[in-house]
Amino acid sequence: MDEIREAVPQSCTKCRRRKAKCDRSQPCANCVKTNSECTYESIFRTPLTRKHLTEVEDELARTKELLHSYQSASRSPAVHESANPRKRRATSTSNDPAPSFYNPTSIPVQEQQQFSQTAGAVYPSNTSTMASSAPQPSYQDYSTLQQRQPQPPMHRPAASHPGPSPTFSMETPPAGDFDWDERVRSGNRFIDGMASLTERSSRGYMGVASGAALLRLADDASADSGVEVDNGHNETASNTPPIPVLFTLAQLEPFVDAYFSTYHISYPIIHEATFRAQFMEIIPRPKGNSWQVLLHIVATMGAFAASETAPEIDLALFEAAKARMSIDMFETGNITLVQALTLISNYVQKRNKPNSGYNYLGLAKRMALGIGLHKEFRDWHSKPLMLETRRRVWYCLYIFDVGAIITFSRPLDLPKDGIEVQLPLNVSDSDITASTKTLPAETQGTTLYTHVRCQAKFHLATSEIYERLISTFPSAEEMLQLDDDILGSWLRELPSYFGQDVLQAPRYRLCHAILQWRWRNMRILMYRPYVVRRMVSRAQDAQHSAPSSSWDDTAIQRCLDTAAESVHLITTYWQQEKQNVLACWYALYFLFQAILIPVICLRNDPLAEAAPVWRQQILSALAVMLDMSRLNSAATRCHSTVLNLVGGWLGDNTPPNLTESPQTQLNALHSFLWPITDPNIVGGYDGFQESAAYDFMTNLGGF
């Protein structure tokens, strides 16, 4: 706790030492007489107030809690002996104490020291970006790659008839329970926060429409065959969790600035002016510890999103945020805690803890409903700033919630009925301040809230498409109609100043680009099953091939065109605009989903007339993924996955592999039909589409 310097009348140093009477002049008479140096020392005293004493008591309580956690872990070296829930249950008793809410992951001590010493100098003011054009690798760069070997077929229950089955389900008995533990890091298993949960158990429930559903249908010879009962063998967690670094406000300030200059532009869940005034204590901070949690998660997200190298300091900042949380906080409800929980959810998902993020988001959603963020009342005499803040928080939460539900293929649990809150106004922050009495007119131009308005409308519209996709899969004609009616209507209503070809101010270019990538990604996912069915069916005999229709042809062409547009837009953005972890996260997700289309096409028809175009798209995407790997480790995995799938087909003279059966083709495809969610998604739709694609293709007549 900082002490306060007070000017208190006192004797000089010499007089106090001699216990002589001092006249307190400068110099005093005694020092003049003895020809001594006359100096006065300041006295440091803390204010004798109830507020200061409360702060000291709170800080002491937190310190004791941290020390207790550290000492408990030191006395119990087997605290992380097993990460497998079944093994823990077998060794536990009914008298086990309740687990501590705070259980930090391991951070090396040297990293903690580095964090505390360099917190104020993380981001250079001038950073170089990628050259205007990314180097395009040639086929010779991949000439040593071997063609992917056919994988064992996937076993599915035999259908009683070749036509579509309304009762068909991809639900299979689980190999184990669905418990999960994301407190520790895996040594050999890759778990990403984008819903790539490849294990059959111990990674959380993934529904029939998720990417993991395909893996549950694989036989024992497939990539997911060996379900380990004990996951603890692969865990590399440290036995002694460290005490989180205690950051000062001066150390947190650059990360707060980074948050508002990057992440806040896309998702303004916090009112910047109010938060900064509370940060500087110009206005009172909210009561309780919620604001401290919000402060540290804001700093955490700022350190993560704005970093131009692979970030690490955000891990220590997040431990500091968790250290300020307690179970008692969830016996309260306030908008500050809703903001903090929502940001925590989005952060931990990006930091490869998808189920933890899903839980935090559930807490935020329930609390938001509990404090009535979903309602607006007639004749409600509230200040415009408070009303707009509630709207912004609600729709940012809504965006994250819908994206996570679709990603994990879990039921939509936010009803449409009873939600009576308007979209945030498209205004500048200066138009609504604490003293504003009436709501201003909206601005006809891009503001901080343009993107969140457009994305909220997008999710409100496309949730209907999601509900249709996870039920009986529509025909090509029906899908085209959904596209024209819903997605087309949303595109027509998009503000002209936020259209695709409108050049935005530098601060808005990322969120503007993400919105363009997002709706194209949705269209790709809508039509991808038709592309996969067409390409894979070519390996069958003619008499077993399903007849094609003009509707199918139109659907396939829309998918191919949209994928090509996405690859071009994303690679161009990455080559020309500012690069940081936040931009990398979104660009990687949408680029990976888009490049799957030419990968499928080239793998199944390498001699097609469009094959050279597909090869060029793939090579461009590979170059960008390679550059992204310095910011996101998932980019390396995406790069390797694409090469493993299609590396042998990147040459101009590569003969087609016409011997693979459709089931082998599908089995080869399942390794990359995994969703890497756009946080918000926030873009995450891939999970439900993977299973729907498989169900759609395997239940139509002739396939």
Span between the terminal Cα atoms of the chain, in Å: 71
In a domain, 295, yes or no: yes
Cα–Cα distance measured from residue 110 to residue 553, given in angstroms and rounded to the nearest whole number: 59
- In the chain, how many domains are there? 2
Domain end, chosen from 428, 443, 475, is at 428
- CB neighbour burial string for 235-248, b if at least 16 within 10 angstroms, e if fewer: bebbebbbbbbebe
Phi, psi at 298, each rounded to 5°: -60, -45
Higher-scoring residue by pLDDT: 231, 173: 173
Residue 667 confidence (pLDDT): 56
Domain end, chosen from 428, 446, 467, is at 428
Give residue for tokens 């300020």.
324
Mean pLDDT, rounded, for 678-694 = 38
Max avg pLDDT among 32-36, 133-137, 340-344, 465-469: 340-344
Residue 94 confidence (pLDDT): 38
Q: How many helices (H) and strands (E) does the chain have?
A: 24, 2
SS3 at position 473: coil
Residue 669 confidence (pLDDT): 53
In a domain, 306, yes or no: yes
Residue 52 confidence (pLDDT): 79
Least confident of 122-136, 176-190, 572-586, 633-647: 122-136
Higher-scoring residue by pLDDT: 510, 203: 510
Cβ(427)–Cβ(443) under 8 Å? Answer: yes
In a domain, 669, yes or no: no
Cβ(541)–Cβ(101) under 8 Å? Answer: no
In a domain, 5, yes or no: yes
Q: Which two tokens stand for residue 566?
A: 């996405």
In a domain, 388, yes or no: yes
Residue 173 confidence (pLDDT): 52
Local confidence band at 89 (pLDDT 50, 70, 90 cut-offs): very low
Whether residue 682 is preceded by a cis peptide bond, meaning omega within 30 degrees of 0, is yes
Average pLDDT of every residue of the chain: 74
Residue 539 confidence (pLDDT): 57
477 pLDDT more than 70: yes
Q: Which two tokens stand for residue 462?
A: 């496309």
Residue 12 confidence (pLDDT): 87
Phi, psi at 14, each rounded to 5°: -65, -45
pLDDT in tens, 637-667: 899 989 988 888 887 655 545 555 555 555 5
499: which DSSP letter? S
614 pLDDT more than 90: yes
Cα–Cα distance measured from residue 312 to residue 526, given in angstroms and rounded to the nearest whole number: 37
Cβ(425)–Cβ(449) under 8 Å? Answer: yes
Higher-scoring residue by pLDDT: 243, 156: 243
pTM, two decimals, is 0.69
* Strands (DSSP E) found in 465-621: none
Residue 7 confidence (pLDDT): 46
Local confidence band at 471 (pLDDT 50, 70, 90 cut-offs): confident
Give residue for tokens 């994250």.
400
In a domain, 465, yes or no: no
320 pLDDT more than 80: yes
Q: What percent of the chain has pLDDT over 90?
A: 41
Higher-scoring residue by pLDDT: 618, 62: 618
In a domain, 700, yes or no: no
Residue 189 confidence (pLDDT): 52
Residue 703 confidence (pLDDT): 29
Higher-scoring residue by pLDDT: 209, 293: 293
Range of the domain at 27: 1-46
Distance of CA 364 to the CA centre of its chain: 16
CATH assignment of the domain containing 26:
4.10.240.10
In a domain, 480, yes or no: no
Residue 174 confidence (pLDDT): 55
Domain end, chosen from 404, 428, 452, is at 428
